[in-house]
Amino acid sequence: MFKNNFYFLIIFIYTSLFSAGIYAQDTTRKMSTVTLSETAQKAENFVLEGNQLLVDGNVIKSEQQYRKAIATDKKNLKAEYNLGYSFYKTQNYTEAVLRNKNAVQNAVTKPEKHVANHNLGNAYMQIKDYEKAVEAYKNALRNQPLDNETRYNLALARQKKQEQDQQQQQDQDNQENKDQKDQKDQQNKDSKDQDQNKDQNKDQKDQNDSDKENDEGKENEDSSKEPENDPEEEKEQDRKKDKDQDAKDNQEEQKQNAKPKEGALSREQAKSLLEAMAEEEKKVQEKVNAAKAKSSKSKKSEKDW
């Protein structure tokens, strides 16, 4: 693991013996060599308060004091350094990168540039931007070539970048292989679908031809047959025929009755003949009855000896 020492700067910016270590400043000591402006002094007081809070472990409140110092004096590098450190401690590495980039831009002396770039490299390492971390450590060593911690972190950043590049290349190769496989699978699927469509089209064509032949054969067969009538319609037709036939028979019978055949008696003649025969038969019967009565009377007049 890389040496994630964040250079914690509590020294005054005007000191000539700028170092990367941790320095304490007595807030009650009077400055004899350099006199700060009222604004700069106010910013320094915010920084000292933030430093004390940071040492006590109150990172959130220390951050507030550093922000006040930057708002009061934007050129106060200690506030930028230590604010970046507070973000680093709370794992807000993106904000830590931003603050240390500001510190790099505002740094003037080599020690300032060394510290700012070293801390910037540490922040880049946390977000796995190893390429930018390598550049930051290089810039730090340009301003302080003898810093072993920076040299160690630079070597580690280069190793991480190489591993990252290899992993990215492997991922790219895997993706390309996957894309090629997917493309090949898609081509095979398309080819299979085309063959299936051809088979379906052929089957459909064969079916259509078969249906057409069946339809033509049925039409020919139907044309040679008389059309079939509905059973109910046939019954109705039969009833009509029977009715017509009955009417015709009645008419014929009436004609026969109205006009007798040659040599045959008419109805009136037959009636008269029957009446005459009945009258004759009545007379005959009366004679027979009279004869019987006479015979019976003759027998009763004879004596019984």
Residue type, 121: G
Among 180, 90, 96, which residue's Cα sits nearest to residue 136? 96
Residue 25 has pLDDT above 50, yes or no: no
Q: Is residue 61 part of a domain?
A: yes
Angle at alpha carbon of residue 132, lines to 127 and 136, rounded to 5°: 110
What's the total number of domains in the chain?
1
Tell me if 54 sits within 8 A of 62, measured CB to CB: yes
Q: What is the pLDDT of residue 101?
A: 94
pLDDT-wise least confident of 33-47, 143-157, 192-206, 208-222: 208-222
Q: What is the DSSP letter of 171?
A: H
pLDDT, mean over the chain:
80
Per the listing, tokens 């402006």 go with 37
Whether residue 157 contacts residue 133, with contact meaning beta carbons closer than 8 Å, is answered with yes
Query: Which of 75, 79, 157 has its CA nearest to residue 118?
Result: 157
> What is the full DSSP assignment across 41-106?
HHHHHHHHHHHHHHHTT-HHHHHHHHHHHHHH-TT-HHHHHHHHHHHHHTT-HHHHHHHHHHHHHH
Q: Does 137 map to a domain?
A: yes
Q: Are 20 and 115 in contact (CB under 8 A)?
A: yes
* Cα of 28 vs its chain's centroid, Å: 71
Does residue 28 have a pLDDT over 70? no
Domain assignment present for 43: yes
SS3 261: coil
- pLDDT (mean) for 110-130: 95
Render pLDDT for 80-111 as a digit per residue (tens, 0 to 9). Answer: 989 999 999 899 999 999 999 999 999 999 99
Q: How is residue 20 annotated by DSSP?
A: S
Report the C-alpha gap between 116 and 125 in whole angstroms.
14
Answer yes or no: is 285 within a domain.
no
Q: Is residue 268 part of a domain?
A: no
Residue 45 binned pLDDT confidence (cut-offs 50, 70, 90): very high
Task: Please report whether residue 30 resides in a domain.
Answer: no
3 state DSSP class of 228: coil
Query: Does the residue 243 lie in any domain?
Result: no
pLDDT at residue 259, rounded to an integer:
57
CATH code (residue 107): 1.25.40.10
pLDDT for 62? 92
Q: How far is CA 42 from CA 59, 77, 149, in A?
A: 21, 14, 34
Residue 82 lies in a domain: yes
Structural contact between residues 93 and 85, judged by C-beta atoms closer than 8 angstroms: no
Residue-range definition of the domain harbouring residue 53: 38-156
